[in-house]
Copies of this chain bind each other. A is one copy, B any other.
């Protein structure tokens, strides 16, 4: 481990595993947050010593208080500060002098509350740093460590979650309490809880590094509203997810809106798309709601990650079985037939009325004994990766007995790497019963909910199995020429951003070995006719304009012209249309292109995310691009695996594979195109936006042709 990282982790350990705490308040009154927090630490029987500090009160929660942290006789590892923002600096300064190692600032009134607060926060941070102290908050709700050797509830919530292997970091303090309450009600065990507040110092990146090494933590949950440093976040997360799953809910999915749309790619690249790409590439499990956050955590914290998508459903009621099957199939899980052995043995003891198709409906009369026998068979059936057990308590059966059977057999499933979940509809005791020792089978109120969670876990499992990929060396690149081309374009014009002219675009793409359709510019109809003659018919004629982005929308694209007369006519038609909308001044002429017949139209694009850098787009091209948004984004640079996966992750891949009898397309060449674009973006940071749309992908071994391209420099 690099020394810097080791030091960071050690400093967080002092915060999260202190042996001595000072709780520093300033209020005269009892019953304030400070007193409450001190009380919570006492009440939870913190495994160490806690000192109340208050210059204005002699006693805090029945304990004699120290006037200042400097008056405390022993060492202090951690100080929790709950004083008015105005005096926080002075208190933190005293902590520094005392030799405190970590500080949690609960107080509000900092960066969240305007310019004055921002200043205050910066000064606070300076003081902390000058003494080498780490700082959580300000404006947070505190930290928890459930490790019995620590047993610390340094929050103002009296809720202490059960000990477990899930770590939770939250950016919303307000949400923290609700989260703790929910975790307790579902009997979900946490290792540590950190309310990050304003993240003046300690960030989610720091926590990730700490939890990566924390032996008490197996699953990491994050509630995020923004990324502090997204590139660093992506890098750290990517190094952790292969060993510990990270589950995150990030808000702001739809509200971010799209950017000003200079290109197709730009128009479709919302901030949301960038986060999505970041999560995908880092192997982070993204969930949409807080409920899913906990449901997924609950599954991953004790069950094996699914080894495949094949589900068996075991139920004593047909209806819920079918609803669950529906939910599974909708989310891409499979319900295969069971093995012959399983089927024949199930027949031996289940009544004739039972249905042995998957879902296995044992009917309402099913006993604990039958559940047990059926589960034993499923644990051994190699056709199955996941089992969902549904139990609807009928009146004369005791759910405890069924829960007992499931708990007993849970280890057999775990041994064979199979994932086991349950839903005991209507019986609220089930979570506790199934969650207890040896069982650790997550239990859901509604069986349909299992499908969402299992599908997320399967995605993660597939990510784990995927080769990590390399950024391959790309041959046939004339980097010098490309740099020169960009440089001279920027020198020729002062406009920023600057759209490259057609000739330069072709030159640029060609110097990266990207195949572009043959074309010629023409300022007049006569020139266009001549160009067509030289290229050979049929040709396409397209508006040449440095200001009009969407040519189709102004009638600027006319295809499939077979004669000089048609070319001449097309030229006038384009001009007349521009005249009719009063934009004829923007026409510099036309581009005459060879027509590429056949091929599937795709789009490849680049845009810049303000914090993540270049994003690369792939998807269905042509006029359907923005209608169906059958697209995917990745963050630059692309590995070979990224490129392969991008091509395969859109619906249009079915077209490329040879849709309805058509011959398959050259997807290999397409992957190479993506990698070439990534290489180009690497070399030429001046490229702000790029649209290759459409790219026509031809039959296998015939490559592709870029039919239209636009490049914007900044």
Would B364 and A173 count as touching, CB distance under 8 A? yes
In the complex, whether A327 has a CB less than 8 A from a CB of chain B is yes
Within 8 A of B (CB), among A376-392: 392
Would B254 and A319 count as touching, CB distance under 8 A? no
List of B residues within 8 angstroms of A396 by Cβ: 33
CB distance from A598 to the nearest CB of B (A): 11
In the complex, whether A253 has a CB less than 8 A from a CB of chain B is yes
Would B395 and A157 count as touching, CB distance under 8 A? yes
Would A317 and B659 count as touching, CB distance under 8 A? no
List of B residues within 8 angstroms of A552 by Cβ: 660-662
Would B325 and A254 count as touching, CB distance under 8 A? yes
Would B177 and A623 count as touching, CB distance under 8 A? no
Which stretch (A285-293, A464-472, A504-512, A568-576) binds chain B? Answer: A285-293
Would B660 and A623 count as touching, CB distance under 8 A? yes
CA distance A157 to B251 in the complex (A): 43
CB distance from A355 to the nearest CB of B (A): 11
List of B residues within 8 angstroms of A318 by Cβ: 172, 174, 225
In the complex, whether A550 has a CB less than 8 A from a CB of chain B is yes
CA distance A626 to B659 in the complex (A): 10
CA distance A555 to B427 in the complex (A): 59
List of B residues within 8 angstroms of A560 by Cβ: 560
List of B residues within 8 angstroms of A395 by Cβ: 33, 36, 156-157, 177
- Across the interface, name the chain B residue whose C-beta is closest to A32: B396
Would A251 and B323 count as touching, CB distance under 8 A? yes
**Interface 1/0s, chain A 147-179, versus B by CB < 8 A?**
000000000110000000000000111110111
List of B residues within 8 angstroms of A156 by Cβ: 395
Within 8 A of B (CB), among A182-203: 182, 185
In the complex, whether A326 has a CB less than 8 A from a CB of chain B is yes
CB distance from A694 to the nearest CB of B (A): 14
Would A425 and B322 count as touching, CB distance under 8 A? no
In the complex, whether A62 has a CB less than 8 A from a CB of chain B is no
CB distance from A592 to the nearest CB of B (A): 20
CB distance from A155 to the nearest CB of B (A): 9
- Across the interface, name the chain B residue whose C-beta is closest to A272: B326
CB distance from A505 to the nearest CB of B (A): 21
CA distance A553 to B249 in the complex (A): 44
- Across the interface, name the chain B residue whose C-beta is closest to A182: B426
List of B residues within 8 angstroms of A654 by Cβ: 627
List of B residues within 8 angstroms of A352 by Cβ: 113-114
Q: How many copies does the complex hold?
A: 2
Contact of A254 among B330, B427, B550, B662 (CB under 8 A): B330
Most buried by B among A181, A252, A325, A661: A661
Would B327 and A289 count as touching, CB distance under 8 A? yes
CB distance from A161 to the nearest CB of B (A): 12
List of B residues within 8 angstroms of A317 by Cβ: 172, 174-175
List of B residues within 8 angstroms of A640 by Cβ: none
CA distance A289 to B320 in the complex (A): 9
Would B627 and A329 count as touching, CB distance under 8 A? no
In the complex, whether A118 has a CB less than 8 A from a CB of chain B is no
**Interface 1/0s, chain A 224-245, versus B by CB < 8 A?**
0100000000000000000000
**Interface 1/0s, chain A 28-50, versus B by CB < 8 A?**
00000100100000000000000
In the complex, whether A223 has a CB less than 8 A from a CB of chain B is yes
Would A426 and B113 count as touching, CB distance under 8 A? no
List of B residues within 8 angstroms of A662 by Cβ: 552
CA distance A253 to B328 in the complex (A): 11
CA distance A173 to B249 in the complex (A): 38
Most buried by B among A33, A322, A662: A322
Contact of A627 among B182, B448, B655 (CB under 8 A): B655
Would B251 and A659 count as touching, CB distance under 8 A? no
In the complex, whether A3 has a CB less than 8 A from a CB of chain B is no
The answer to whether A112 and B660 touch (CB under 8 A), given A253-B330, A316-B174, is: no
Most buried by B among A249, A550, A560, A628: A628
In the complex, whether A562 has a CB less than 8 A from a CB of chain B is yes
CB distance from A59 to the nearest CB of B (A): 21
In the complex, whether A580 has a CB less than 8 A from a CB of chain B is no
CB distance from A184 to the nearest CB of B (A): 9
Contact of A251 among B172, B255, B319, B353 (CB under 8 A): B319
In the complex, whether A428 has a CB less than 8 A from a CB of chain B is yes
CA distance A396 to B320 in the complex (A): 42
- Across the interface, name the chain B residue whose C-beta is closest to A172: B319
Contact of A252 among B114, B290, B326 (CB under 8 A): B326
CA distance A173 to B394 in the complex (A): 9
List of B residues within 8 angstroms of A330 by Cβ: 253-254
CB distance from A204 to the nearest CB of B (A): 14
- Across the interface, name the chain B residue whose C-beta is closest to A156: B395
Would B319 and A353 count as touching, CB distance under 8 A? no
The answer to whether A661 and B175 touch (CB under 8 A), given A290-B323, A318-B225, is: no
Would B177 and A392 count as touching, CB distance under 8 A? yes
- Across the interface, name the chain B residue whose C-beta is closest to A629: B651
Q: Chain A interface (Cβ within 8 Å of chain B)?
A: 33, 36, 112-114, 156-157, 171-175, 177-182, 185, 223, 225, 249, 251-255, 288-291, 316-320, 322-323, 325-327, 329-330, 352-353, 364, 392-396, 425-428, 445-446, 448-449, 550, 552-555, 560, 562, 623-624, 626-628, 630, 651-652, 654-655, 659-662
In the A-B complex, the 8 residue pairs with the closest CB atoms: A553-B661, A174-B317, A172-B319, A178-B426, A181-B426, A178-B425, A251-B322, A254-B329
Can you list 22 A-B pairs with a CB-CB distance of less than 8 A? A114-B352, A114-B353, A157-B395, A173-B364, A178-B393, A181-B425, A225-B319, A225-B322, A251-B319, A251-B322, A251-B326, A252-B326, A254-B326, A255-B329, A290-B320, A290-B323, A290-B448, A291-B448, A550-B660, A554-B661, A562-B562, A623-B660
Given contacts A178-B393, A255-B326, 10 further A-B contacts (CB under 8 A): A174-B319, A175-B425, A181-B426, A181-B427, A251-B326, A253-B326, A288-B327, A550-B660, A552-B661, A553-B661
